[in-house]
Structure 1
Amino acid sequence: MDAPEPDTPFAAVTAQTTRFGRIYQTYLDKSTPYVAYRWSSTGALFLLFALRIVIARGWYIVAYSLGIYLLNLFLAFISPKFDPSLEADESMEEGGESLPTKEEEEFRPFVRRLPEFKFWYSCTKAIAIGFTCSWFTIFDLPVFWPVLVIYWLILFFLTMRRQIQHMVKYRYVPFTVGKAKYSNK
């Protein structure tokens, strides 16, 4: 398909969507340093969604799907970008050494598989989509919600137990308090 002529209506629509996309991206870029405000607004949106589900007494499949997706995002957020178990297997096959286990050995900083901003952005989009879906009756499927809650809790605890065992085995901590600050004495 050829590119649209500059004076066609399609080109005008494309120009407008491109303009709105740039404005949207500008606001996203400006929100980057305000971590607490971003997560507070996402938490408020999540509470609004939860309130909608509780008051409407429906859309449990939407809530369950959102819970599974958020769990998947959280696991990617606390997982290292380069899996130490795979690197350890490769280094053992090559006859090399494994990960550093003593203070004298090389320091490797923790690099997330899913950076914080992308984690926040994906969570916010998912909650907004879930909230929107909760207003359409086509997504209100009849289910016995306690089974979904129990299944999600079992899935959460088993997955987190496995992830914590992985963290302990390969000695990494996915959370940092922040950069060390030194004062003038």
Structure 2
Amino acid sequence: MEGVGGEAASMASPVQQQAHEAWRLYQYYLDKTTPYAVYRWIGTLVIAAIYCLRVYYVQGFYIISYALGIYILNLLIGFLSPLVDPELEPSDGPLLPTKGSDDFKPFIRRLPEFKFWYSMTKAFCIAFVMTFFSFFDVPVFWPILLCYWIVLFVLTMRRQITHMIKYKYIPFSLGKQKYGGKKSSGSGRSSGSRAD
């Protein structure tokens, strides 16, 4: 068995081996960024700002920006949606668990945060590269595209928020919930005894 795998690896061309090593190195550094969500998003905002500046100074590529906006809206909907849509699983109200796997499960996104960030960053990078090719610069009246995108965004978000309210889920957690314990009676007396 090991001989078969070794033969396949030795049959790969040097170019394929270099590409595989480059991909492994890329994946290694990508995996190292996973715990640093704030820095990842700051980097994406910098890339988005560079893209916006490029489009502003070139005064073109509005159709690419519109397509990028539609793609990001699609990613956002996946990020805000639950993995299992309650609309597709009809029930007559809350059911009691009948087996161990039926326990309460927290909100799980259809598109995890890391994939959301990664897809958005890739999209901005691809759109930025596309701005260097003039055949992507289709002449279009950009205010109409902007108005259409805003209407699409408002309608889509209204539908998503209605879905959230109807099925009572919140796609965001604002950190670990903190419970306040009893305040010690010593601290209450010491502050009350001072009469300065």
Q: Give the counterpart of 1:70 among 72, 80, 98.
A: 72
Q: How does 1:1-185 map to 2 (within 5 A)?
A: 6=10, 11-88=13-90, 91=91, 97-99=92-94, 107-180=104-177
Structure 2: any 5+ residue segments left out of the alignment?
1-6, 96-102, 185-196
CA distance in 1, matches of 2:174, 2:70: 27
Shift of residue 6 of structure 1? 3.3
Using structure 2 for the length normalisation, give the TM-score: 0.80
Classify 1:5/1:168 alpha carbon distance in 2 versus 1 (closer, same or farther; 3 Å). closer
Q: Structure 1's 21 and 98: CA in aligned 2 closer, same or farther, altered over 3 A?
A: same
Identity %: 51
1:118-163 deviations in whole A, cap 9, x for unaligned?
A: 0000000000000100111010000000000000000000000000
Equivalents in 2 of 1:24, 1:177: separation in Å?
31
For 1:48 and 1:79, locate their aligned partners in 2 and report how far apart those are by CA, in whole Å. Answer: 29
Deviation at 1:4, TM superposition (A): 7.2
Deviation at 1:108, TM superposition (A): 3.3
* In 2: Cα distance, 1:40 partner to 1:163 partner: 26
Is the Cα–Cα contact under 8 Å of residues 80 and 112 in structure 1 kept in the other structure? yes
Q: Deviations over 1:6-52 (max 9, x none)?
A: 37xx6101111110111000001100000000000000100110111
Give the Cα separation in 2 of the matches to 1:171 and 1:5. Answer: 52
Unmatched 5+ residue regions in structure 1?
92-96, 101-105
Amino acid of the structure 1 residue aligned with 2:35: P
TM-score, normalising length: structure 1: 0.85
Give SS of 1:87's match.
coil
Indicate the residue corresponding to 1:103 in structure 2.
none
Q: What is the root-mean-square deviation of aligned Cα atoms in Å?
A: 2.1
Deviation at 1:53, TM superposition (A): 0.8
SS of the equivalent of 1:174 reads coil
